Amino acid sequence: MNFQVNKQGYYGRFGGAYIPEMLYPNIEDLRERYLAIMNEPEFQKEFQELLQHYVGRPTPLYRAKRLSEKYNATIFLKREDLCHTGAHKINNTIGQILLAKRLGKQKIIAETGAGQHGVATATVCALMGMECIVYMGQLDMDRQRPNVERMRILGTTVVPAMSGNKTLKDATNEAMRHWINHPTDTHYIIGSVVGPHPYPDMVARFQSVISMEIRNQLQTEVGNPYPDYIIACVGGGSNAAGAFYHYLQEEHVALVGVEAAGKGVDSGESAATTALGKPGVLHGSKTLLMQTPDGQVIEPYSISAGLDYPGIGPLHAHLFDVGRVQFVSATDDEAMEAGIELSRLEGIIPAIETAHAIAALSKFEFTPDDIVVINLSGRGDKDLETYIRWGKY
């Protein structure tokens, strides 16, 4: 089966570029040039050098002995939490800022929910000396104060989005509006495998360094590059896309995406998109979306800000459609317990997004020979407040 995006920007029945006419020239320019730029030897050299010396790649593939014992499997953790700024997101922002320079752009805009993508973008803009504006919902700014201040320390202007629920969806709308008004000098760095074509494909390619490294590291560790399972949490789906990418064709490798079930899939307060979603258009692409029967987007809910999104990227919607990726979900409670468990068993406090992937372990029957790779997308420092409020440790 072919899982690559086609010329029109579709993965099966999902994807495309549903954008206002004012953005056509920008998206068109990006679409025509992104692959050629990414394939330039000079681009690759600069990208790889920054990944190595600035981000800290390759990240370790760590054999988690005590976790393995507990779940009767051979479990490896891909340590994206050790990336500079604490999560996988910077793999993409480094790639996109190098691309923006080659497109001749001087300014960067981004949207952010919890602030992690905003911080990763502010970081690379400081690194490259580029002007940066990050749109963030007013409510999220109040909830994620430390990340707002991090961005400001890094020299970024954080602009509150005051419309709608004052969260991620509204910040994305504001960023789009800004881009429409400043199309020539500005590049919009989208933070996940979402948005109009070519963003989902471009972001997946930048994140695919994760599965490239897993292949090499497993070859060294266990003598072949193929695990039995790869498990990753899915918000928009960028860390999962990166962890799955170089295994999509290897159907004997089971790929598992973990969504946030919030207070329960049927509670009305969740972000379990594949369980609840129907095809619809959001932020420039056709994908699976949580929506009312008349097509209004339903506000998602998860204890984890990074998974609190009403859709998933079109690649994942397609992988779900054709059965290549199995989707499961974990509730707030299951994720918090799994986060504490990983802390106690391995001395690693995960991001609460990541804790959802850990929580999926209990939903499978493994044998000791099963090689399971969990993509440890981020570290828990940013979530200390949430752990404290949860309190059961």
Ligand X SMILES: *Cc1c(COP(=O)(O)O)cnc(C)c1O
Catalytic status, residue 70: no
Nearer to ligand X by C-beta: 74 or 117? 117
Q: Which of 68, 78, 80, 89 is catalytic?
A: 89
95 binds ligand X (CB under 6 A): no
* Binding of residue 235 to ligand X (CB under 6 A): yes
Residue with Cβ nearer ligand X (16 or 236): 236
**Contact between 291 and ligand X (CB under 6 A)?**
no
Span from 11-19, 236-244, 273-281, 384-392 in contact with ligand X (CB under 6 A):
236-244
Asked whether the beta carbons of 55 and 40 are under 8 A apart, the reply is no
Handedness of CA 98, 9, 109, 138 (dihedral sign): negative
DSSP β-bridge partners for residue 112: 136
**Minimum separation from the CB atom of position 113 to ligand X (A):** 8
Give the residue with the Cβ less far from ligand X, 9 or 191: 191
Place of tokens 């969740």: 270
Least distance in Å: CB of 377 to ligand X? Answer: 3
Token code pair at residue 262: 């919030």
Q: Give yes or no: 111 in active site.
A: yes
Which one of 144, 238, 274, 302 is in contact with ligand X (CB under 6 A)?
238
Examine the residue annotation and report whether 89 is marked as an active-site residue of this protein: yes
- What is the token pair recorded at 208? 């695919």
List the one residue from 15, 118, 225, 306 that touches ligand X (CB under 6 A): 306
311 lies in the binding site for ligand X (CB under 6 A): no
Among positions 93, 112, 144, 192, the unique one binding ligand X when judged by CB under 6 A:
192
Question: Among residues 271, 253, 211, which one has the least CA distance to residue 78?
Answer: 211
- Alpha-carbon distance of 39 to 103, in angstroms, equals 14
Q: Which residue is nearest to ligand X (CB)?
A: 378
* Pairing state between β 74-78 and 10-11: unpaired
Other C-beta atoms within 10 Å of 326: how many? 18
Q: Does 233 bind ligand X (CB under 6 A)?
A: yes
In this chain, which of 97, 130, 171, 234 binds ligand X, going by CB under 6 A?
Answer: 234
- Judged by beta carbon, residue 353 or residue 370, the one nearer ligand X is 353
DSSP assignments along 118-177, one per residue: HHHHHHHHHHHT-EEEEEEEHHHHHHTHHHHHHHHHTTPEEEEE-STTSSHHHHHHHHHH
Q: Which of 80, 111, 213, 259 is catalytic?
A: 111
Residue 354 touches ligand X, criterion: CB under 6 A: yes
Only segment of 41-49, 215-223, 237-245, 358-366 that touches ligand X (CB under 6 A): 237-245
| 237 interacts with ligand X by CB under 6 A | yes
Beta bridge partners of 288: 279
In the complex, least distance from residue 84 CB atom to ligand X, rounded to whole angstroms: 13
**Angle 289-330-354 from CA coordinates, rounded to 5°:** 95
- Taking alpha carbons only, the member of 226, 293, 236 closest to residue 260 is 236
Residue 238 CB, nearest approach to ligand X (Å): 3
From the CB of 63, what's the least distance to ligand X, in Å? Answer: 21
The stretch near ligand X (CB under 6 A) out of 32-40, 93-101, 158-166, 348-356 is 348-356
DSSP state of 60: P
Binding mask of the shown chain, residues 112 to 131, with x at each position contacting ligand X by CB under 6 A: ----x---------------
Q: What is the CA radius of gyration of the chain?
A: 19
Torsion angle (degrees, nearest 10) of CA 321, 327, 331, 336: -140
- Cα separation values, 102 from 207, 285, 291, 313, Å: 19, 25, 38, 26
Confirm or reject binding of residue 353 to ligand X (CB under 6 A): yes
How many residues line the site for ligand X (CB under 6 A)?
A: 19
Catalytic choice (211, 337, 377, 382): 377
- The rounded distance, in Å, linking the Cα atoms of 228 and 373 is 8
Q: How far apart (Å, rounded) are the C-alpha atoms in residues 393 and 390?
A: 8
Residues assigned a catalytic role: 89, 111, 377
**What residue ranges bind ligand X (CB under 6 A)?**
87, 89, 116, 192, 233-240, 306-307, 351, 353-354, 377-378
